[in-house]
Amino acid sequence: MTNPLLSQWTTPFELPPFAAIKDSDFAPGLEQALSEARAELAAITEYPEDPTFANTIDALERMGEGLNKVLAPFYTLAGVDSNPAREELQREFSPKLAAWGSEVMMNRALFARIEALWQARDTLGLDAEQMRVLELNRRGFVRAGAQLEGAEYDRLKEVKERLAVLGTQFTQNLLADERDWFMDLGTEDLEGLPDFVIATARAAAEEKGRDGHVLTLSRSLIVPFLQFSPRRDLRETAYEAWVARGANGNETDNREIAAEILALRAERAKLLGYENFATYKLETEMAKTPQAVRDLLMQVWEPARTQADADAAALTQMMHGDGVNGDLEAWDWRYYSEKRRAAEHDLDEAALKPYLQLDAMITAAFDCATRLFGLEFAPLEADLHHPDARAWEVTRDGRHIAVFIGDYFARSGKRSGAWCSALRSQQKLKGDIRPHVINVCNFAKPAAGTPALLSYDDARTLFHEFGHALHQMLSDVTYEMISGTSVARDFVELPSQLYEHWLEVPEVLKKHACHAETGEPMPEALLEKLLAAATFDQGFATVEYVASALVDLEFHDGPAPADPMEAQTAILEKIGMPHAIRMRHATPHFAHVFAGDGYSSAYYSYMWSEVMDADAFAAFEEAGGAFDPEVAARLESHILSTGGLREADQLYTEFRGRLPGVEALLKGRGLDRVA
């Protein structure tokens, strides 16, 4: 039978035919696609004529189409619905793909052609986009080691392949720990839990094939359990299991893997002539240097820690009032913080949650995009990767813009967290290719026949990931290598974090936040309480994030630590980490940093982008309001449609007229008035 990965796709908009694809198709599909890609590479490097932009850069951009047809559906399935066969394929593919990457990016003949074009760039008659693509290609080849020779060349290839293997292993270990741990909850263990938490625990038990109720490590279940359960013993057990992911002393322990990854990254940087990995990594980011990152983080750390210390004192007093003596612990914070929020803001998440239906929040995100950018969303019947996934066709003025796919519910075998990726990216080199974009979340799945309800943080996550999706969908460039989210890592979070602001616009909530049972809109008083509490507990949230970002930075800004756990402890002690707050992502489960190179030395990126997103939303407020058409047009023209066409600071300056300072961020987090 024909391998569907190697045939022409006749599905709507050429989406992957997931129903026809078997796990056994991927390995032969990859081998065939790699063989074709190697032939395409040889045709470029052995081309008998002198290099031109068309026969070198354009040809390089066209290369590997078959690989994307295999890998896009494979890595989608591996992330959202893993199984032993797919995990084995990941382990098999990672070194092969790393080796292929080195074949291309460390290819001396190919680099010689690119270098010749670069030296003659002013005589080639290139437009601005072509010049940018040439510049990025040359830079990428240099940073990949194309200029190395001999033993250093060979060693760098080995390092890259080993890093690919370790990143896959780290991810799979973390997934195994998240999948395998659960705690049965008896009737007495449900005391004090709101109905929505009990229903979610019942649904989790059904998914595990067990009777009654269970607690899992799904964030959408464990966080509300920690918020509402009065059982301190159960909170401690659950919390310690949550933070012990990747550090259980068994075959899925990630601590030695993290140490080896850090050592190999340091070696990689040295081979390329850099002092350390952070210096290498940050060279192409907006921040440019480790010290610039450290300066930003410490500007935020000090007021955040001061606020967190004050909050800890208040929570400790509440805990002692309950007759619980001793120190406030990490498994106590969310419980007493929730009680404090209810007391100070009269805001009860259990009362709020029925107004935040998943379907209504999806509609709200779509509605904002319609008002801002003229996009329309129509449900699309398509063969998708999982029954829970849904698809929409995105149009504007009758023209097809994109396919958007949403996969929102947590399940066994699904990687934790939330992310946006493209099954196909926008480009024009091979025709008017429009993107296929997917948002993946891990919201608690409701019992059959009941609506899915979100926390306010869940709703913010939905808007965040949809901001990334807009960056992909509104892309309008010729070359795929700079389309959509192909921008500096510390700029890529700007569109996503900016889009979160529309969830806080009162008219959006008034229209879309309606009660799941009565259909009544959120009462004005509840809406006011919600918005008034927007900066509640930001000391905690900021401390746990900045601590993670600082540990990531220090791991890479200097020699690799022999024992990352000892180094983590020392870093946290040095900055004065509050006792009752832990890092958002401790080293053994810090997937942003260790599952791949994406956020290594760059977890600070969310905060760097937040400096801009607060300032960018202020541009709307200073104009005609949240839906001002002129500001929206500038946002699309200078940021959302341009991808990596120019350097990030230039794109932002074109939109706003200047670069922002940290003041807007501190104000947005309510930390500007901290003494």
Give the catalytic positions in this structure: 465
β pairing state of 436-443 and 182-185: unpaired
Residue 600: helix, strand or coil by DSSP?
coil
Q: Cβ neighbours of residue 561 under 8 Å, at least 6 residues apart?
A: 259, 262, 555, 567
Q: Residue 458: what residue type?
A: D
Sign, CA dihedral 192-194-200-203, equals positive
- Residues paired with 424 in a beta bridge: 436
DSSP state of 392: E
Work out the burial of residue 447: count CB atoms within 10 Å of its CB; fewer than 13 is exposed, 13-18 middle, 19 or more buried.
exposed
Question: Helix axis angle, 232-243 relative to 219-228, nearest 10°?
Answer: 150
Q: Report the alpha-carbon distance of residue 65 to residue 356 in Å, rounded.
A: 41
CB 602 within 8 A of CB 282: yes
Reading the block at residue 355, the tokens are 């107004």
CB 441 within 8 A of CB 435: no
Q: Please report which helix (H) or strand (E) contains residue 88, including its range.
A: helix 84-105
Q: Please report which helix (H) or strand (E) contains residue 274, including its range.
A: none
- Residues paired with 390 in a beta bridge: 406
CB 341 within 8 A of CB 347: yes
Reading the block at residue 663, the tokens are 């003041």
- Give first-to-last CA distance, the chain, whole Å: 70
C-alpha pair distances (Å), 277 with each of 145, 464, 505, 553, 595:
14, 29, 41, 10, 16
